[in-house]
Chains A and B, each alone.
Chain A
């Protein structure tokens, strides 16, 4: 299992997450897509860490996981609040932030 395999898998995962983020409109799914992208990055970091025999990449992974957990908590809370307010989770209809 070479570096190329790991990085390739990370890129594919990231592309899937990004495409899902662009194309889907359900807010919960968008949150899932963000998680997929974050974990794709984690995967690449782990690959490089192993390839370079260093620990820095793994340290970053832990940081990202922490941030992702916090983000998921806040994001879910926002989603609950949004649903209570608007009775919908369709992002194409939630467009109040405009000039």
Chain B
């Protein structure tokens, strides 16, 4: 049965990575790409078959699970390596494999002629493998394995051009900042294991619902510790600093890892442990962190000149919105925004990559303009993605963001809504800034070369989907959307009364009009008048990097220097070298006994024998 063998999903990309990694040294680029793309394509086909099978089942039975083997079985904790594919995991699997497949296809064209072609595809396949392990795991520990694996692949791919120092630094930064979050994740796992004696998601939910009473504080602590892990991986304020720098990697990597899949892992994790979030004070914390991130990052996005950095901050901001949704208790709305964002942000990054490629590596928005005439296909798809990002009716971004804004209004009141809506307006503003690359007059000296079909095809597919991906979120203004029904989780709180319903509709219409007005104004502002001036405070992300530098990096470096200059050479080397010279001196001293004269040796031999005899005799009491 197909449903019994969901392990095939991660196994396929793993095989692709192994084949390319172990055997591919002499293969041509074409073969390497075929193996890599083919393995992900096969996995996508399998996932589609599983989806069809899942949809044919009644809503309650849509869970496939399989236990592969026992991993740890000693002591109080039992960990089994098992996979669980329910509708929640299915959404992630579809995003990962669908967007992942298109990005693999795109990469085959984009990375052509790159010296590290094989290394690139091995890492990319490995990433898909770990991401699927993360998503399919049926317990926290296996999720953590995937979690660390995607972190590793992210590190490897950010530093793909390792001869560039800035790329290596960015990779290291991503790894170190993620480590802070992972520490929280690990503590959360340990605490869950100590408190409940299991790390299995199903068992945890069952124990939480019906098991012996556990203090609410412990549950909240577990939830918040896991949330710290999610903050690191999903680049939430204040652990967001690695994501803008991660743009040093190849652009398809930014699209796959740092927009569509890995950075959303935190949102997915929170949905997985949804029963824990019911503990008091957890949801407001998540909502506030998400809101602060969404607002903060949208301001930063406005201050960037680098097209990829704008998109990076935009990603941070949109993931903030997902956490806002989770913080309102709207799992389905959060997951839905994850789905639509994965599609349109993947599209935006891929299109940005095509633009950068066409302009010979130019990333500065100030030198782009009027690209619509030179690169029509790329420009049109990019602008479709931008409209979806800004949330223009009726594109996908509109449907998913609207549910979140209304949820925030309903749960946390007007002030919360004003802030969240402000972020949405900022989104429209920086989207307008990106429009300036395609409209207006030409600014690029030289001739942009048009991308090949391997690059345009994924763009077109993603563009169509970012226009259509809002459909599962229909019908509007109800809790019972197609998506929520598939997920089996509410998209909005209990059915609102008629007055609230009217208010929701009015608010949505007003929001839409405001967003359209801001977007139109921004396009005019940035295209006609070229107000690309970047306040330094926005460009540097409000100086958070400098702050961390002052607070953490410099003291650590000073500490390291102290150890390197004082402790290591003086104390440690001193002790080691001292032992060496001590034995040398002792050896020199005793070397004098060795004269080389045979009779001296003979005399000492006989004298020693006499001494031994004397001692024995004394001990025996002979004298």
In the bound complex, CA of A22 to CA of B597 (Å): 11
Report whether A98 and B594 are in contact in the complex, using a CB–CB cutoff of 8 Å.
yes
Q: Which of A4-12, A49-57, A89-97 contacts B (4 or more CB under 8 A)?
A: A89-97
Which partner residue on chain B sits nearest A27 by CB separation? B598
Which residues on A sit within 8 Å (CB–CB) of B603? Answer: 22
Q: Contacts of B592 on A, CB cut-off 8 Å? A: 99
In the complex formed, the residue of B with least CB distance to A97 is B596
Which residues A58-99 have CB closer than 8 A to chain B?
91-92, 94-99
How many Å lie between the Cα of A15 and that of B492 in the bound state? 112
Contact with A along B306-333 (1 / 0, CB 8 A): 0000000000000000000000000000
A22 to B602, CA, bound (A): 7
Which residues does chain B contribute within 8 Å of A23, judged by CB atoms?
Answer: 599
Find out whether the CB atom of B602 lies under 8 angstroms from the CB atom of A21.
Answer: yes
Residue of A at shortest CB range from B597?
Answer: A95
Known: A18-B606, A99-B590, A99-B591. A91 touches B599 (CB 8 A): yes
Q: What 0/1 pattern do residues 576 to 600 of B give for CB contact below 8 A with A?
A: 0000000000010011111111110
Contact A95–B595 (Cβ < 8 Å): yes
Closest chain B residue, CB of each to CB of A18: B606
Residue of B nearest to A91 (CB): B598
- B598/A96 in contact, CB under 8 A: no
Given the complex of chains A and B, what is the CA–CA distance between A18 and B602 in angstroms?
9
A residues 3-33 near B (Cβ < 8 Å) are: 18, 21-23, 25, 30
Q: How far is the CA of A92 from the CA of B601 in the complex (A)?
A: 12
B593: A residues at CB distance < 8 A = 99
CB distance from B304 to the nearest CB of A (A): 74
Instruction: Pick from A25, A94, A98: contact of B595, CB below 8 A.
Output: A98
Contact of B596 among A21, A22, A30, A96 (CB under 8 A): A96
**In the complex, chain B residues whose CB is within 8 Å of the CB of A91:** 597-599
Contact present for A97 and B594 (CB under 8 Å): yes
Binding site secondary structure of chain A: loop
Partner of B599, one of A22, A96, A97, A98: A22
Smallest beta-carbon distance A2→chain B, Å: 22
Q: A36 to B362: give the CA distance in the assembly, Å.
A: 100
Shortest distance between the CB of A36 and any CB in chain B (Å): 14
**Please, which residues of chain A bring their CB within 8 A of the CB of B597?**
91-92, 95
A30→B594 CA distance, assembly (Å): 20
CA distance A92 to B594 in the complex (A): 14
Is the pair A94, B598 in contact by a Cβ cutoff of 8 Å? Answer: yes
CA distance A25 to B595 in the complex (A): 15
In Å, the complex CA distance between A21 and B602 comes to 8
Q: How far, in whole Å, are A94 and B606 apart by their CA atoms in the complex?
A: 21
> In the bound complex, how far is the Cα of B594 from the Cα of A97, in angstroms?
7
From residue B606, how far is it (CB to closest CB) to chain A in Å? 6
State the Cβ distance, A6 to closest chain B Cβ, in Å: 20
Measured between beta carbons, the chain A residues less than 8 angstroms from B587 are: 99
Residues of B close to A95: CB separation below 8 A: 595-598
> Which residues of chain A in 28-49 are interfacial with respect to chain B, using CB atoms and an 8 Å cutoff?
30
- Residue from B590, B595, B597, B606 with most neighbouring chain A CB atoms (10 Å): B597
Question: How distant is B597 from chain A, measured CB to nearest CB, in Å?
Answer: 5
Closest chain A residue, CB of each to CB of B588: A99
In Å, the complex CA distance between A1 and B587 comes to 54
CA distance A96 to B592 in the complex (A): 14
A21 touches B595 (CB 8 A): no
Residues of B within 8 A of A97 (CB): 594, 596
Give Cα A96 to B599, complex, Å: 13
Highest count of chain A CB atoms <10 Å: which of B591, B593, B595, B596: B596
Give bound CA distance, A92 to B602, whole Å.
13
Neighbouring B residues of A21 by C-beta, 8 Å: 599, 602
- In the complex the two chains form, what is the Cα distance from A30 to B595 in whole Å? 18
Give A98 to B595 CA distance when docked, in angstroms. 5
Give the docked Cα–Cα distance between A58 and B529 (Å): 121
B587, B595, B598, B603 — which one has the most chain A CB atoms within 10 A of its CB? B598
Q: How far is the CB of A66 from chain B (nearest CB, A)?
A: 23
- Give the chain B neighbours of A30 by CB distance below 8 A: 598
Interchain CA distance A58-B588 in the complex, whole Å: 47
Give every chain A residue within 8 A of B602 (Cβ-Cβ): 21-22
**Complex A-B: 5 CB contacts under 8 Å:** A21-B602, A96-B596, A97-B594, A99-B587, A99-B591
Spell out A's residues near B (CB within 8 Å): 18, 21-23, 25, 30, 91-92, 94-99
Q: State the B residues within 8 Å of A (CB).
A: 587, 590-599, 602-603, 606
- Top 5 closest pairs, chain A to chain B, by CB: A99-B591, A95-B596, A98-B596, A99-B594, A98-B594
- Inter-chain pairs besides A98-B594, A99-B590, A99-B593, 8 sampled, C-beta below 8 Å: A21-B602, A22-B599, A25-B599, A91-B599, A95-B596, A95-B598, A97-B594, A98-B595
